[in-house]
Amino acid sequence: MFTRRDIGKLVIGAGAVSLATPFKLASAQDRPTLTIAVDNLWQNMATINGISTTSRRIFPNFYDGLVDRDYINDENGLILAPKLATSWEQNGNVWSFELRQGVLFHDGTEMTAEDAAFTLSADRLWGPKPFEPRGKTFTDGFKRVEATGKYTFEIETERPDPYIPGKLTGYMGLVVPKKYYLEKGVDGFGQAPVGTGPYKVTTFRSGEVMVLDAFDDYWDGAPPAKQVIWKIVPEFSGRMAGLVSGEFDFIVNIPTDQEATLEGYDKVKLIRATASNYPAFAFNTRPDPEDNPLVDANLRYAMVQAIDMDTIVQALFGEATFHPAVPFNFPEYGRFYDPALKPLLPYDPVKAKELVQKSGYDGRPLRWHITRQFYPNYEAAAEIMIEQWREVGINVQAIVLDNFELVYRRPFHLMNMSMSTDFIPGDPYQPLWLDWGPTASRSTASWKTWDPTEKFIELGNIFERQTEFEARKKAYQDLSAEWQRVTPGYYMWKSVYNWAHRDDIEWKPRADGEMRMFGDYLKLS
Amino acid sequence: MTRFWLVKIVRTLLTLWFVLTFAFIVLRTSGDPVVALLGADARPDEVAQFRSQWGLDRPLYEQYARYIAQMATGQFGISYRDGRQVIDIIAERVPWTLLLGLVAYLIAALVGIPAGILAALKRGSTLDRLIMTFAVFGFALPNFFLGILMILLFSLTLQWLPSSGTGTIWHFLMPAITLGTFTAGTLARFTRSAMLEVLDRLYMRAAAAKGVPHWKRILLHALPNAAIPIVTIIGLNLGQLIAGAIVVETVFAWPGVGRLLVTAVSSRDLAVVQALVLVIAATMVVANLLVDLLYGLLDPRIRVAR
């Protein structure tokens, strides 16, 4: 049967000649306009309420963070660099920050410590009824945030937290103007955001387009483009046609099976980068439904040992990514990463069969809830895995559903998920503790899939308090071992982001998905 | 006559109430907007705050009463997605869909009706078969398929037309043709059969016997008499046009009501979906009323019967 893509390939096969015209960058007045065709724009561009993959790619173009991750000099972005904060130092429970002077918001007001302190304040992120409640996720242990001078402020935490600068590289470190924010309210601000970034938002229609104009008073110099237009083009054929014909300068989200087609065009460059994110599935380890056979860890072990994920990843992605054999042992964790570590549950179908027998599993179907087309190649991998499980006597049914709301509805035995790894650069805190700990939605929501064991909580509390590297690494390994003993989930591969742009543009992608249209990340010829 | 209009108005209001209630029940029972809007990782306190802010923590009957009261006073509410007035959001989009729909209708009428007349006049000929083959293709081809095919051909391969969005008159062409093709095909077929029925009537022979020129017989005698089924189809096809707009606007990134509906449904922006359902239902009701009125104008016998 022909699919839309097959038809597309046939027509594309007729060949095409690109009319893309390279623009000239003669002077600041003659800067080009860049048009970027995206699959979606998040509805709200407030820094916390607007958290999503689609907004993250745009945020750094109009917001600046306090601290930056340097992906130019380190592919894992483990070098922390000054941004709006020029220096910082820790004194026990208190971190002191010094801000860059003379930085202007897009509304012309100067950024001061009042704005930075408000950005991280209890009123906004972590108080009893904050403006952006999700801020609590990132501000665990915050006790006081206060401006101590026009350009200095302090963060006090309940216990010493060496990772505060690293945490400020993320969403919560994006500074907002206090006065304007309070005037507009969160929703109003999210529709007309103001930051200190190299571009200012001049038009935002969430279902359609966002237009950014160069902010020539930017503290780090005028940006290279006069205007950057982020235009929603939901259909991939439209994005591809627009790039090839020169309507667009960049496109995002190229289906894996269309990459080769796109690469076949002249004057188009395809770029891939592995992302700080791992698609996975969670086992429902709880007796809900009552007769859930996955309550028995042996069946979960069997399911893990029945999967030949290296082969699946190779077949679906080639060399573009890899399967992390040992959970949480991810290369982006620098010194925490140990390439020699062996998995506790390696691929072993014979062992898997024995474990199935040991579990007493009676062959009843296990429901695997999967969100339709949410993670590239997930459904294809699921089909192969279901066959591999069938070979060891486990009967899994993939139930592909339209959205997460449906995926979360019980009963289910397995559920798709993904986890990011970059909340603290170079540290496994997020995927291991923030996302599986006792306050995580995975442990608390109506759709929760596990109850953290007492030992996991005890080890997690130890891990959270360790600030010296060796002690923290040991605590991380212990916590990871306890997670693997329970095996409440399975990490499949490191996500791959892809983009394409005109080949006369030099652009460097980032593992966090940000599309920076300025600085060392973009060179226009 | 007054009774006729009273019945029509009451029936219209009942239809709209039924549509509003149906939309309310379906949207409330088919999924939780909180997960769609706040994302999979929303914290429980964030979810609670959202529910309280939008009154989703109230009993269903209370939500319904408030919703009906709101609608009765012409207030469509505020979008959950971006906090803007729903009426403003819809007002931004309606002109784009209207414009696209009108151009598509124009294309459909200019192509479909003459093609149908020609096929009827050349009944049984190769031309007739050719026109009817294209007509069948026209209404059998799914919109998304035709749209993508056109993008790949005219934007990617030939690079004649812009692939998506708005801005110039050229941006209209592909979406309008894609949207109008179905209606053109349908109109061609209905015009042909309506014309064939009329062409065999006695008054047509009488006109010919009186020496009325051929073109006059077709345009002034046959076409007005064949108009009723054609007008009916045009009215009925308005629904198809709206349904088609949902697909076509998505394929061509056209900023109209159809695309708004898709994003509002997928993100469960209840206020927007409810308002759009009402707008679409009202459009359909008004279109049917207009068709009824046109019947009266086109055929005095219907007017008299009322």
Q: What is the 3-state secondary structure (H, E, C) of chain B?
A: CHHHHHHHHHHHHHHHHHHHHHHHHHHHHCCCHHHHHHCCCCCHHHHHHHHHHHCCCCCHHHHHHHHHHHHHCCCCCECCCCCCEHHHHHHHHHHHHHHHHHHHHHHHHHHHHHHHHHHHHCCCCHHHHHHHHHHHHHHHCCHHHHHHHHHHHHHHHCCCCCCCCCCCCHHHHHHHHHHHHHHHHHHHHHHHHHHHHHHCCHHHHHHHHCCCCHHHHHHHHHHHHHHHHHHHHHHHHHHHHHHHHHHHHHHCCCCCHHHHHHHHHHCCCHHHHHHHHHHHHHHHHHHHHHHHHHHHHHCHHHHHHC
The whole-angstrom separation of Cα B269 and Cα B165 is 23
Over the stretch A363-394, which tens digit does the pLDDT of each residue have?
999 999 999 888 889 999 999 999 999 999 99
pLDDT, greater one: B298 or B77 = B77
Burial A79-109 (b: 16+ CB within 10 A, else e): ebeebbbeebebeeebbbbbbbeebebbeee
> What residues 198-257 of chain B have any CB closer than 8 A to a CB of chain A?
250-253, 255
Mutation site, A2, A11, A230, interface B, largest B CB count within 10 A: A11
Residues of B in contact with A403 (CB under 8 A): 31, 35-36, 266
Mean pLDDT of B115-144: 92
* A402-406, B130-134, B209-213, range with greatest mean pLDDT: B130-134
Hey, how many other C-beta atoms are within 10 angstroms of the C-beta on A345?
A: 22
Over the stretch B55-107, which tens digit does the pLDDT of each residue have?
888 888 998 998 888 888 878 888 887 788 899 999 999 999 999 999 998 99
**β-pair type (A67-70, A250-252):** unpaired
**Integer-rounded Cα radius of gyration of chain B:** 24
- Residue-averaged pLDDT of chain A: 91
Is B151 close to A241, i.e. CB distance below 8 A? yes
Hey, how many other C-beta atoms are within 10 angstroms of the C-beta on A510?
A: 21
Over the stretch A186-200, which tens digit does the pLDDT of each residue have?
989 999 999 999 999
Mutation site, B47, B149, B163, B259, interface A, largest A CB count within 10 A: B163
The whole-angstrom separation of Cα A326 and Cα A490 is 10
Over the stretch A242-280, which tens digit does the pLDDT of each residue have?
999 999 999 999 988 899 999 999 999 999 999 989 999
> What residues 158-187 of chain B have any CB closer than 8 A to a CB of chain A?
159, 162-165
Share of chain A above pLDDT 70, in %: 94
Phi and psi at A147, nearest 5°, equal -80, 130
pLDDT of residue B142 exceeding 70, the answer is yes
CATH of B86-305, one of 1.10.3720.10, 2.40.128.20, 3.90.850.10, 1.20.1270.360: 1.10.3720.10
Sheet holding A250-252, edge to edge: A199-205, A209-214, A227-232, A33-38, A250-252, A496-502, A268-274
Coarse DSSP helix, strand, coil percentages of chain A, rounded to the nearest 5 percent: 35, 20, 45
pLDDT category of residue A473 using cuts at 50, 70 and 90: very high
| Least confident piece of the model among A21-25, A181-185, B134-138 | A21-25
The ipTM of this complex is 0.82
The Cα of A258 is separated from the nearest Cα of chain B by a number of Å equal to 14
What does pTM read for this prediction?
0.84
Mean pLDDT of A195-220: 95
Is B250 close to A234, i.e. CB distance below 8 A? yes
Q: Give the H/E segment covering residue A454.
A: helix A454-465
Q: Give the pLDDT of residue A23.
A: 39
Is B149 close to A7, i.e. CB distance below 8 A? yes
Of A207, A241, A445, the CB nearest to B44: A445
* A280-294, A395-409, B80-94, B179-193, range with greatest mean pLDDT: A280-294
Q: Give the pLDDT of residue A27.
A: 52
Q: Give the pLDDT of residue B306.
A: 52
Mutation site, A245, A247, A249, A436, interface B, largest B CB count within 10 A: A245
Of B45, B49, B163, the CB nearest to A242: B163
Q: Give the pLDDT of residue B208.
A: 87
Hey, how many other C-beta atoms are within 10 angstroms of the C-beta on B25?
A: 12
Domain ranges of chain B: 86-305
Smallest CA–CA distance from A38 into chain B, residue: B253
The whole-angstrom separation of Cα A520 and Cα A35 is 19
Q: Give the pLDDT of residue A19.
A: 32
Residues A450, A488 contacting (CB under 8 angstroms): yes
Over the stretch A78-118, which tens digit does the pLDDT of each residue have?
899 999 999 999 999 999 999 999 999 999 999 999 999 99
DSSP A411: P
**β-pair type (A152-157, A94-99):** antiparallel
The whole-angstrom separation of Cα A255 and Cα A259 is 7
pLDDT, greater one: A489 or A28 = A489
Joined tokens for residue A32: 């080009």
A18 Cβ contact partners less than 8 Å away, ≥ 6 residues apart = A244, A245, A246, A265, A266, A267, A268
pLDDT category of residue A22 using cuts at 50, 70 and 90: very low
pLDDT of residue B40 exceeding 70, the answer is no
Query: In this complex, is the C-beta atom of B266 within 8 Å of any C-beta atom belonging to chain A?
Result: yes
Mutation site, B96, B156, B171, B261, interface A, largest A CB count within 10 A: B156
Residues of A in contact with B165 (CB under 8 A): 231, 233
Burial A349-368 (b: 16+ CB within 10 A, else e): bebbbbbbeebebeeeebbb
Q: Give the pLDDT of residue B28.
A: 81
Is B39 close to A17, i.e. CB distance below 8 A? no
A to B CB pairs, distance under 8 Å: 146
Q: Give the pLDDT of residue A16.
A: 35
The Cα of B148 is separated from the nearest Cα of chain A by a number of Å equal to 7
In terms of Cα–Cα distance, which of B298, B300, B297, B124 is closest to B196? B124
